[in-house]
Amino acid sequence: MVERSCGSAEKDSFRSFQKTIENISEKFDGAALCNTPSQFSSVERHYLSCEDLTDVVTQARTLANDKQLSDIPSTLLSRLLTVLSAHLKQANGLRLHSSSDETSIEAQNILVGLDAVSISLLILGADDMPKELYQEEWIDEMVDYIRFHLVHNIFVFFDAAHYQIHRAHEGVGFCEDDICQAAPTQRKKRRKNASLSRCHQKDIDSSSNNNIPKVVYSISSKLSMLLGQLANLLLVVRVPDAITLQLTSFGLSVFTIDNIFLLQNQAIKLVVAAFRTQPKLRGVIMDNLMLTLLKMPSSGRGIRRYMLPDDETPCIQMITAVLASCIQSSVTFSAGLAAGGDEQRSICETETVGYAPAFHWSHTFWKELLNSWQSAKDQEIDIKGLIQNLVTDLLTLLKFPEWPVASLLLLCLCSQLLSSCGICSTEIRIREFALDLLGQISARLKNDSKTCESDNILGYLARNTKQNISMTGGRGFAWAVDAARADVATTLVASNHCGVPVAFSEERFVLEAILLRYVHMQRPNDPVLNSSEQSALTFLFAQLAREADRHGTGFRSGVPCPGAYRVAYQKLYEVLNSSTEADLNRRSRDSDPIPRAIAVRLFRAFSRHLPLAQQVDTLFRRLIWALDDSAITVRAAAVRAIDNVVSADHRILGVEQIRSAIERRMTDSGTMVRSSIVDLLGKHMHKAEFANQYYKSILERISDVGVSVRKRVINILHSYLETLPNMSIRIEILRTLAFRISDDDTGVQELVVRIFRGLWLSQLPASNHVCQLTDAETTDFLSERAEHFVNVLWDVFCSVSRTGLAKLPLLPTFPIVAILRRTLSSSEDDAATLWKGDRKGTKDSIDIIRANDMCNAILNGLLLQEEYDGGREDALEVPFLIEDTQFDRRSYTLSFPRAVRYALGLHVFCVADRKLLVGDVNPTALVTALHPYLKRCENNPANAIQLQCCLSVIDAVVEEVGCLSFSSACELEKDLRCLLLRSTYHGVLYYAARCICSTSKIDSGTGALPGALQICYRFVKMLNEVCIERELSNGEHAHVARALFVLGHLARFGAETFENYGDREVSPTRLLHIFRSFLQRTSRQEFDLKKSALRACGLLFVSRPCLMLSAKGDFGKGSMDGIMCAALSTSAECGLKEQALLNLEEYLREEESRALIRFPVRGDQTSQTKYFSHDDVCNDGLVNLHGGKTENLQTVNGEYDNSLANGVAQRYWSDVIELSTDPEPSVRLKALHLVEIVLRQGLVHPMSCFPPLIALQIDPVVTVRKLAFRLLKQQRGKHPEFFDHQLNLALELLFDYCKRIRSAVKSMAKERQRNVDLLVLRASSADDINTGFINLYKLVNTCRAARFKFLHAVLLRYEKKVVNSEITYVCFLASATAALPFTMNDEVLFVIFHLNRIISLHASALPETFLDTLKKPWDSAGELIPTHTALCLCENFDISFLLSIMILLKRHLKELYDLTDARLRAYSPSEPLKTGETLVRRSEVGQLDLSWVDPESVESRLCCARQIQLLCSLLLDDTIDHISV
């Protein structure tokens, strides 16, 4: 025994402890003389109290700290351990109850036993203790005692599941309800028959657990101290493996219980000590650690309770701290470990020596955890959340010098995620999650790299002197630099004696020494914690030495050289360990000699050159490769991962590889992928270098089929507008956004309305100096808004039509008009209130006031522009519709005077809400201001547009106000008559006719003839004169065309004026007679007059629908039914068909508007209203203007129907349906527009519309095809059963429509040989047909049942008997079926299954005489089959053709989708869907070839023989599938 020099106080403590042991021994020997066990127990209970044992514990700890316990004789210590063992036996098996307190017998005995264990562990854990004290039975007894009280007296009070297991059978004492009240839990049922599941407790303070006895907390505190002592024992002595496993088992079980944080902190030390000291048991410990992790909750406020050194950093999970500490403690570093030794040892040695164990166990942990994905899912364990929590914690630890193992753990995780456990897995969910984790890790590494670039601390020492270091880094950092330089000098001297070159970079080596000294000085006084922190230092040394050994190899070739070689690190390791006492004294004088911020910066800089940081480019490349994954969700996950990396370092977007990959994914087939890409780019659009690069790509996605993509693009463009200085790009963006008002999704529409409302109708900003803007500032701001408004409007106006400017008047569907209407009335109720004129009290009244201000600002802008352009030259005389591709229409429209734009702005507000044009003070102010511009004589497009806009505003104001001064009215009518006689633009004539009719309704009181009547008389007289002529001159032709056009619109808007005047010469009946006379002209040169007359009739019918009927009120003789039927027939001229359709469309639109707008009944002062409709027309065609009773036209179900719309629509519906598949594209388009209106109003049964809409899916014109698809989608959403019912009929119509177009194209080609001016028609190509069927299949691809219904309808035609003329149709269906975009194997198998069934049915119907017929004698010619024989074979040959086509189709599908015969035989349509199967489509397989089919081959003996031979060979090859059916 080594003698120590001790002071007098230490000697007194030594003697006192010896005396205490002797007294305890004497008392115990005296108690042992008692023969009665009951008496012994009674004595033993009062033998040694808690206070006595506490005093013994204090004395023992004092001697242990002074390292004097080993000087006490082993006999005394052995005797003391025997006495303490007796106390353990007395307290073993005792359980606390809810009524227990510290004075109870059970509590006293348990506390005494815990103190006894504490004393025993202090003795056994001291240095240089005699070996005879370490008895395995005694250690095992203490471990059992600790485990018992942990489980039965701690866990049961904090976890209901433990109580259910260990206390429920007792039935007394503590109840389960108390457990739940004390520690609320979040229960998750794992099994249906489980009576009580494992509970995860919520975060609650122990002080609030009033139902838990206080003695439980005392026991918990003592047990936590014992766990720390057990950890120290494992570091001191070699404990048997069984005991070590038992210690780690209950040590890990502590982490599954909430609200025992002190125990969990000490359990970390215990598990880490076992993992460090027992290399052979590390595999078992790691397995137990993984099982404990799977029992942990994945969410909650209390999952992270391990405190980190940095106060500003969040905590991490206890289980993460255990894992990191275990891996970190497994590393060893010593001078005896030579360079490259890790590779030269055996596999068994590398798992226990050097840096290799950390690698091995890190890989093992992640591999086993990722491989347990499926089993954890089966047990309903949220393994995804658990792994995510681990990764989050490790990313948090990356910046801490005390946790260098975090980099290694993440590196090993990345290695596993790049393998079959991650992005190469066959399971989609695993690949998604792996990409998500790789994205998070890569983003953190990129962020750290970017931070290091701006914080070059590695060059700090070279650039600064000692004085500067002290001033900038602080006194602690200056001392650290001096100490590090001294350490490095000592290391270099020691290394030079060995003759080994040491330093790569001495300044870098100094900084490394600073970091290592900082970690070394963080060691606490606790021996267990000291060992833990020492493992961080050891890990850092081993890591630096490993990097020095491998410098310049592999991916390390471009990394800056480390500070030194391995030898230098070994010498520095010895220097730091030898200066431990000095460092402790220094730390006592200066609590923080090295600033933590400096240490963190150094550690981050060094981590940048570690393998994990060097692999960030590799990780990013793998993320890019994942963009080509076959699964949509995986590609979306890859995009999100790249988004994380780009957010950390946006410079990545400038890389060409990234740019090309992003542009490819912008057109990805998955909406989720495109949405993620748009999100990625949207976050960085505000940066100028990327905005120009990706602006066009984002703008294209605004018409994406995905609603989420469109919404994101709109939000991105809106945010981009706020920072965009380029006005032309702003207008382009706003124009694109304006067109989205017609989006199918209401959410997109609301988003667009909100954007434009903020631009044009938002509150005026406050001035910088005062709260309110001055009048001048307000005027200037409104002028800027008005200018911005008209610029955007003009751009939309010039872009709305592909052939030129939009036609006036603008429809309510015009983008800017629709936006204003939605802005001024955001709901239907507000819209109704707005149209009634009651603006008070609505929530949009503020917007209406701002809209009035905007109108005034636009008017002022118009007047100012007219002043500036007072002497403007005429615009270029260029027609609106022009086919010359060399003509730059945009430059041409920009040459228009700016006043035209402002006039168009007034027209837009007029269409949106004409009440905005009526001022409160001077209602006719706009009429007065715009009237002078009607006198302009320029006959050019620019002036025509401005005239139409001004006339529309004047007409709206006159109709709203209803009064004008006599002089103003006369002057206005005069100018309007001039326009009607001189203008050559139909738009000007339209508005002039409408405006003069509105002016004529004003009662001047002078008895003068209204202007509308004057111009009407003039044109009627002229038509009466020329209608009797057989042929017209060119001048007369032009005047007649103008007269028909003007009279038609006068009849449309001025019928009431003509009827009130009472002259039969201008009555609607007389006008109709004139129009009919021009319809009877047959000259081809006067075809345009015939079309104009038909248009005039349609306008007259709009105003007076009853004129369409005969005198008897039906469509018989005397009605216009004959004219309409002739114009709507398929043999009529294209122009007449178009005009007839337009007449019906305008009439139905007018009836729809009449049903929405109500007018008060004349002569009735009450609030009652009625619909204004044709029931006001008397039998002679005059309007009943006095509110008298009139008979309704028809009665339906006992209710009156005041409209002819229903009867007209049903009368001509069949004609409209037939014209919807007309060979002329313009006719089809107009027929579709009419179909849309009829279906919207519900005038016919919707079932009849499905066949033509389905047939039009193969239309060669994209516009027709898109409109038909939109209507079909809407109707199928409302009536899916009608779609299924009409599908077979629709497919037949589709085939007939395709043949009809091809026939029309051939006829047109012949006509063009004689007349080159004819338009070229295009037939539906194979691509158009495939696209049509693909769209149809996508439409029904909502669920499995819908897909099967569609496929069954297609295959149904194969089951029916086929005649010779239908063979081509069967081939058509077969080719279309082969081109369908199947998404799952289940669909292909369904088709093949039914093909097999149909083949077996038809094959069984073939008679035996089929082949024998060919053996009969033939005609002498030898080529043609006799007539009677041909008739006999015809039907059987049709069946043979059908069988051959079906077999070839089935074979094609098998090859195309790589299906085996075994899979086909195993399939049943009733089996559940197998989502795990992957659809494989072989691109090398071509299209289905049916070119050999010739229905006329039955007349040829040779062709018949070939067909029979083909069928026999196909049936022979198909025997396996045929028999299986």
At 770-787, the pLDDT tens digits run 455 566 777 888 888 889
- Give me the pLDDT at residue 639, please: 92
Q: Which of 1525, 1456, 1460 is nearest to 1486 (CA)?
A: 1456
Residue holding tokens 């227990």? 100
- pLDDT, average across residues 515-534: 67
What pairs with residue 1177 in β-bridges?
Answer: 1183
Question: Greatest CA separation found in the chain?
Answer: 151
Residues 776-807 as b or e (16 or more Cβ within 10 Å = b): ebeeeebeebbbbbbbbbbbbbbbbeeebbbe
Distances (CA, A) of 118 to 129, 233, 855, 1117, 1521: 16, 11, 90, 118, 80
Q: What is the pLDDT of residue 108?
A: 82
DSSP 239: -
Q: Which of 269-273, 751-755, 1165-1169, 1273-1277 has the lowest mean pLDDT?
A: 1165-1169
Spatial contact of 101 and 107, defined as CB atoms under 8 Å apart? yes
- In the structure, what pLDDT confidence band is assigned to residue 1235 with cuts at 50, 70 and 90? very high
pLDDT digits (tens, 9 = 90+) for 538-592: 888 888 888 887 776 766 766 666 667 777 787 888 877 776 555 545 544 554 5
**Euclidean distance between the first and final Cα of the chain, in Å?**
94
What is the mean predicted confidence (pLDDT) over 251-278?
88
Q: When comparing pLDDT for 1011 and 1237, which is higher?
A: 1237
Structure tokens at 968: 């103003």
Q: What is the pLDDT of residue 368?
A: 92
Per-residue model confidence (pLDDT) at position 825:
74
Q: CA 542, CA 519: separation in Å to the nearest integer?
A: 14
| Residue-level pLDDT at 834 | 43
Rg of the chain on CA atoms, in Å: 47
Structure tokens at 1172: 């204004």
pLDDT for 514 equals 82
Residue 92 has a pLDDT of: 76
Task: Specify the pTM.
Answer: 0.75
Query: Is the pLDDT score of 1199 beyond 60?
Result: no
Residue 472: C-alpha distances to residues 152, 465, 604, 805 (Å) = 58, 11, 19, 69
CB atoms within 10 A of CB 1116: 12
Query: Which amino acid is residue 790, in one-letter code?
Result: V
pLDDT score at 432: 92
Lowest pLDDT segment from 538-547, 967-976, 1401-1410: 1401-1410
CB atoms within 10 A of CB 678: 27
DSSP assigned state of 762: S
Top-ranked range on mean pLDDT: pick from 218-227, 451-460, 1371-1380: 218-227
Higher pLDDT, 536 or 590: 536
Q: Which helix (H) or strand (E) holds 1194?
A: strand 1194-1196
What value does the mean pLDDT take over residues 251-261? 87
Q: Which of 422-436, 519-533, 1049-1063 is the least confident region?
A: 519-533
Q: What is the pLDDT of residues 330-381, one digit of tens each?
A: 888 875 444 444 444 433 444 567 788 888 999 999 999 999 888 887 888 8
Quote the pLDDT of residue 440.
93
pLDDT band for position 498 (50/70/90)?
low
pLDDT at 453 over 70: yes
User: Residues with Cβ < 8 Å from 936, sequence gap 6 or more?
Assistant: 943, 947
Q: 3-state DSSP call for residue 806?
A: coil
The one-letter code for the residue type at 475 is: R
pLDDT band at 44 (very low <50, low <70, confident <90, very high): very low
- In 593-726, which residue ranges form alpha helices assigned H by DSSP? 596-607, 611-614, 616-625, 632-648, 656-665, 671-682, 688-700, 707-722
Q: For residue 185, what is the enclosing H or E element?
A: strand 185-187
pLDDT exceeds 60 at position 596:
yes
Mean pLDDT of the chain, nearest integer: 75
What is the per-residue pLDDT across 121-134, written as a single tens digit (0 to 9) for each? 888 878 777 777 77
- Tens of pLDDT, residue by residue over 664-681, are 888 888 888 888 888 888
Q: Is the pLDDT of residue 1464 over 60?
A: yes
Poorest-pLDDT segment among 450-464, 801-815, 922-936, 1144-1158: 450-464
Confidence tier at 1461 by pLDDT (50, 70, 90): confident
- Phi-psi map region of 128: left, alpha, beta (phi>0 left; psi -120 to 50 alpha): left
pLDDT in tens, 8-27: 555 666 677 777 777 777 76
Residue 885 has pLDDT above 60, yes or no: no
73 prior amide bond cis, ω within 30: no
Read off the pLDDT of residues 986-1045 as tens digits, 9 standing for 90 and up: 888 988 888 988 888 876 555 567 778 888 888 888 888 876 666 777 778 888 888 888
Instruction: Return the number of other C-beta atoms located less than 10 Å from residue 1309's C-beta.
Output: 12
Q: Report the C-alpha gap between 891 and 262 in whole angstroms.
A: 79
Task: Count CB atoms within 10 A of the CB of residue 492.
Answer: 18
Q: Is 55's pLDDT higher than 50?
A: yes
Per-residue pLDDT at 8:
54
pLDDT tens string 1266-1304: 899 989 988 888 888 888 888 888 888 888 888 888 877
Is residue 3 pLDDT above 70, yes or no?
no
Buried (b) or exposed (e) across 713-748, using 16+ Cβ within 10 A? Answer: bbebbbebeeebeeeebbbbbbbbbbbbbebeeeeb
Cross-strand partners of 200: 186
Establish how many alpha carbons lie within 13 A of residue 128's alpha carbon, considering only the half-sphere containing its beta carbon.
12
Q: Are 808 and 945 in contact (CB under 8 A)?
A: yes
Residue 222 sits at the vertex; the CA angle it makes with 217 and 223, to the nearest 5 degrees, is 95
Give residue-wise pLDDT tens across range 714-771: 988 888 887 776 678 888 889 899 999 988 888 899 999 999 988 888 877 654 444 5
Residue 1400 in this model has a pLDDT that exceeds 60: yes
The whole-number pLDDT of residue 1408 equals 60
φ, ψ (nearest 5 deg) of residue 563: -70, -30
Q: Which two tokens stand for residue 240?
A: 């048997």
pLDDT grade for 508, boundaries at 50, 70 and 90: confident
Which one has a higher pLDDT value, 71 or 5? 71
Q: Is it the case that residue 531 has pLDDT exceeding 70?
A: no
C-alpha to C-alpha distance for 624 and 666, rounded to whole angstroms: 14
**With the C-alpha atoms ordered 841, 844, 848, 850, is the resulting torsion angle positive or negative?**
positive
Neighbouring residues of 888: CB distance < 8 A, sequence distance ≥ 6? none
HEC profile of 58-97: HHHHHHHHCCCHHHCCHHHHHHHHHHHHHHHHHHCCCCCC
The candidate with the shortest Cα–Cα distance to 355, out of 333, 334, 339, 379, is: 333
pLDDT > 50? residue 112: yes
The secondary structure of residue 151, as a DSSP letter, is I
Give the list of residues 6+ apart from residue 291 with CB closer than 8 angstroms, or none: none
pLDDT at 173: 42
Q: How far apart are CA 1047 and CA 1034, in angstroms?
A: 20
